Structure 1
Amino acid sequence: MSLLIDYRPYILIAVLVGMIFLPKDWRKNKLFQIAAFLLAFSAGYELIMSEPVTNMPGTVNRFLNQDGAEHNENSRYYQDPIDRSNRLYKPSE
């Protein structure tokens, strides 16, 4: 089983190349084109990132949930959330 996991990107590429040899009327089908795109994306992602495509949602989630810039890291663009909230939502008197 680990052999399949190790060679998964190459198996995806082989399936993608094999799809080229299917009849032309199949290749015009939208579902075929979507499947070919997804296979190409999966194989490319696995080769570039050296991790399975199934780990991509977790990678994206970790990237998006990183802490923002601290006040001392980028003082020009930093806005204190409390000051910003008070300025935007302070009831007018």
Structure 2
Amino acid sequence: MRRTQSEQDKLIAQISRIEGQVRGIGKMIAADRYCIDVLIQVQAARAALTRVGLLILEDHAKGCVVDAVQRGEEKVIDELVDAVKKFVR
């Protein structure tokens, strides 16, 4: 399944926000901000990346995997399982 341009734009916007969050974390460290405040921002960035990753996994499962299975390419299921295992670590 291909993402629409709107969906693609939303993912790119989310990644851009995450980039800003990470730059902000770097500035917080450089400014010697309180450790707990930095850790809170690190967790927020991790959560945002997780949300993006889950959206991409969902797209892959509903699109690429379904298409491949319909073509008889069963190995794609193993690839998906491996990707999920790596993602949840």
TM-score by length of 1: 0.40
Which has the higher Rg, Structure 1 or Structure 2?
1
Higher relative contact order (CA 8 A, sep 6+): 2
What is the TM-score with the length of structure 2 in the denominator? 0.42
